[in-house]
Structure 1
């Protein structure tokens, strides 16, 4: 048997820039055993700069220009932390993200630059920076597709500003557009006279007005006010006035040049083991302009040097080219090329640029399928069938099926203690001590995300669901952890992240963490034993009456989305939104629904399975209106494409005699296992609308999804 290689080193990539994206692709194809990779970025997508002018001009749709960091991280086996890095503690060798501290042995910075102008009055409220690219890419799409006359101002008349101005004029030609580019000096001052003349002629042909030799005084709603008192009409103002470093980099203690992190020939900074690439880096030994071509060509050297830094190898030098081919979009499907001081204009140049850009994006989206390790030959009968045709899901998708679980529990002897109240069908029990009613439950999850802190939040919310479902107040918790085999230092780092996340969730819920147990194993598993106190009789599965309305507090679909994410088939924003839904606490919802007739949390058995449990315990039936059940973004599309959790078949069989409607993907999602799902409550029909309004006012995307009925069984309509 091949020994499990322990994790011994942490590599942290700060920022999802082009060099890091390429590095992740290569790491997925050739990882360094023993290294845990972490990518930190504010969002699940990052925009590709080369296609931004084409997006503004309308040549590309937004998804074509976005690099999906969730898929890349999954391919590389990396954990993705969605957040903005705000500090690097060089002494502790930790990156700080929203107060969270992430340790590293080697790190790399690729956060790009910004063209935000905080010093310019009104820009933060009324302007959109060209860099970072994400906001402009998102906001422009909605603006371009609007109606009525369009007025756009671009602050900054360099090549980037001119490109955006021409692209805006072309993209808004259906809206009687007026585009103005403003520069404090002369437009395109960094280019040759020949290139400047060609671009100015193109701008004039597109109706772009140039305002030169004046500063901008302030930006207001609907206009830009110039220093000389003139006003430029603008309801979409773009800041493209040069590249400025991210402000926090100068505070790291790393050597820098005006805020740009200084690197040597190996791309290493002044701190050993910390590298920087892309526009945020300054190559002091061989300065170069800020251009994406350098980031792309730095990626292979960075890959080699990070591996060397983590394995005791020798670093190699990056040798930048002296000049590079500048391809400038001219609004429509036309482009200009400049290199070595010579300028070329040809209709075929845009097609060439388009092919280069699309090839780059395909490289980061059409990721190769890596071969799974071969099984020994021979293997015992049944091994192939037990493995199935896809990896086992995590979270509740890895739970034991309802049928097997019920059969095992049926063999337990009856409880005879007077102070213990078993609740058939419920995941929790009630203990009576000195007149107090205490709820107790336990749950643990096989990790479905690589980030232990995020997984801990999900597992804690999930475990507390049993307490909240009984309308109890969380009281105490103990933690049960299995960590992947790793070095003592990495155990310390990982435990610190896990316990910080657990404390935050439990503190917010009002529960105290009393301790717990941990061990090492083959993969991360996080669990909690939780208790809660009931001020009144607990709400259970029993007690629902015919005619009661059914309220669901969260959308469903997490099992399908997480199964798709494991297969790199789920779009990054869909996955990120599912994570947000799973970590939404249900404490306030529990308080609002405390008077429910019956209540459960929707987890591993799926919505239909848990509703069937209420039907069974309450000795009545239910009608579930499938069309009214809220779904997580993207869940239906993934289900229609055939994605199912590995627990789906067990849930379908374990829900009992379900009378199905027309079937289809939406129907199948009723059996999708949920992790940290919402509460499902049966409430008096005359109170349902008022309760729903209170839940929505508290921030829950709740819905009335059906009703309890006479007789038995569950009907999907």
Structure 2
């Protein structure tokens, strides 16, 4: 009996588990290690912050998913890997594996000793947000995540004074000029104070600080001895397999694909789910692995907090209520696949 251990309940692992339920592999024990029984879907979270979606609508029930996949759900926190002994080290003990996959996401990069709350881990952020009753907040990071979060926080708390800090001289630097100009206009019209070209170590004039900065990796990944990139993310090949340890796979934010420079975005984690399943299954069955090649361009749908959204694709952009309807349909369709399990 082979032991497959999935560490983390991210998008790729959720999709892979559903595939294991639909296409069982004999003589394999599957264990999912997760810190919580529910995992958030990033596409619906800004709308949840605004109050458009309930908690249940934007979270996947991992216990039901594991039952469908005939997998064991272990509620625990992974703190390391012992690659020599083939063990995942957890707070409550060790979990042995023959094959292991990591989908543990990332956290915002914060200066040493910085105060405030990170937008990830999402569960911690939502707990904080549900209890927050301040009058002002500083959001550090003017990329897609920071801009969308600012607008949706304001939608929920219209009287909230929001300061948005961006180290670069322009917001949303990964998007085209039209999209950047649209959001500059929207944020200004709604009274969100913009501070561009300013690096922040701490914000002392606000009731709270939320960090939505560049992604950082948990230190134990590098400490385990896995090959990592300069930021500490697992280096994987076109099969989503560690370049240093073939018994280790990784997907989502925690993985960096060799030869493919792609942002840490949820769209890639979703797209990696089925290729990850295929290659995990192929490895277990000693079959040939199948390469995954991420797309160069991808459609980004960014909510503006008023059931309108902006679509960004390469050099093109649109802003309209119908874009929100498309985004809502795509996001709900993704979640519905986990509600139709039998």
Indicate the TM-score class for this superposition, using the shorter chain for normalisation. Answer: over 0.9
| 1:184–1:215 contact (8 Å) kept in structure 2 | yes
| 1:113–1:244 contact (8 Å) kept in structure 2 | yes
The residue aligned with 2:306 is 332
The residue aligned with 1:16 is 9
The residue aligned with 2:219 is 247
| 1:62–1:138 contact (8 Å) kept in structure 2 | no
Alpha-carbon distance, 1:30 to partner: 1.4
The residue aligned with 1:180 is 163
**How many angstroms apart in 1 are the aligned matches of 2:226 and 2:67?**
30
For each residue in 1:22-73, what CA deviation from the matched residue of structure 2 results, as whole angstroms up to 9, or x when unmatched?
A: 1111111211011000001111111111111111112112222111111111
Aligned 1:116-131 pairs, distance under 5 A:
117=110, 119-121=112-114, 123=115, 127-131=116-120
Q: Which runs of 4+ in 1 moved over 3 A?
A: none
> Could you say if the C-alpha distance between residues 365 and 140 of structure 1 is closer, same or farther in structure 2, counting changes exceeding 3 Å?
farther
The residue aligned with 2:69 is 76
The residue aligned with 1:106 is 99
For each residue in 1:189-228, what CA deviation from the matched residue of structure 2 results, as whole angstroms up to 9, or x when unmatched?
A: 222221111001111122111112223233xxxxx23xxx
Match of 2:80, SS? Answer: strand
Alignment of 1:164 with 2:149, yes or no, is yes
Q: Which runs of 5+ in 1 are unaligned?
A: 1-7, 219-223, 226-231, 370-717
**How many angstroms apart in 1 are the aligned matches of 2:201 and 2:279?**
46
Match of 1:262, SS? Answer: strand
**How many angstroms apart in 1 are the aligned matches of 2:323 and 2:99?**
41
Query: How many aligned positions are there?
Result: 339
**How many angstroms apart in 1 are the aligned matches of 2:214 and 2:121?**
12
The residue aligned with 1:97 is 90
The residue aligned with 1:30 is 23
Question: What TM-score, normalized by structure 2, do the two folds share?
Answer: 0.95
Alignment of 1:296 with 2:281, yes or no, is no
Q: Which runs of 5+ in 2 are unaligned?
A: none
The residue aligned with 1:136 is 125
**How many angstroms apart in 2 are the aligned matches of 1:346 and 1:198?**
12
Alpha-carbon distance, 1:349 to partner: 0.3
| 2:176–2:314 contact (8 Å) kept in structure 1 | no
**How many angstroms apart in 1 are the aligned matches of 2:39 and 2:232?**
22
The residue aligned with 2:53 is 60
Aligned 1:232-311 pairs, distance under 5 A:
232-233=205-206, 235-257=207-229, 258-269=231-242, 270-311=244-285
| 1:150–1:172 contact (8 Å) kept in structure 2 | no
Match of 2:39, SS? Answer: strand
Match of 2:301, SS? Answer: strand
Match of 1:331, SS? Answer: coil
The residue aligned with 2:184 is 200
Alpha-carbon distance, 1:285 to partner: 2.0
| 1:13–1:40 contact (8 Å) kept in structure 2 | yes
> Could you say if the C-alpha distance between residues 287 and 215 of structure 1 is closer, same or farther in structure 2, counting changes exceeding 3 Å?
closer
| 1:185–1:212 contact (8 Å) kept in structure 2 | yes
Match of 1:297, SS? Answer: helix
**How many angstroms apart in 1 are the aligned matches of 2:149 and 2:64?**
29
Partner of residue 323 from structure 2, selected from 349, 353, 356:
349
The residue aligned with 1:642 is none
Match of 2:201, SS? Answer: strand
**How many angstroms apart in 2 are the aligned matches of 1:138 and 1:65?**
15
Alpha-carbon distance, 1:116 to partner: 5.5
Larger radius of gyration: 1
| 1:47–1:137 contact (8 Å) kept in structure 2 | no
**How many angstroms apart in 2 are the aligned matches of 1:129 and 1:355?**
28
Question: What TM-score, normalized by structure 1, do the two folds share?
Answer: 0.46
The residue aligned with 1:491 is none
Alpha-carbon distance, 1:164 to partner: 0.5
| 1:170–1:206 contact (8 Å) kept in structure 2 | no
| 1:44–1:70 contact (8 Å) kept in structure 2 | yes
RMSD (CA atoms): 1.5
| 1:116–1:131 contact (8 Å) kept in structure 2 | no
| 2:9–2:62 contact (8 Å) kept in structure 1 | yes
**How many angstroms apart in 2 are the aligned matches of 1:298 and 1:334?**
28
**How many angstroms apart in 2 are the aligned matches of 1:45 and 1:115?**
21
Match of 1:253, SS? Answer: coil
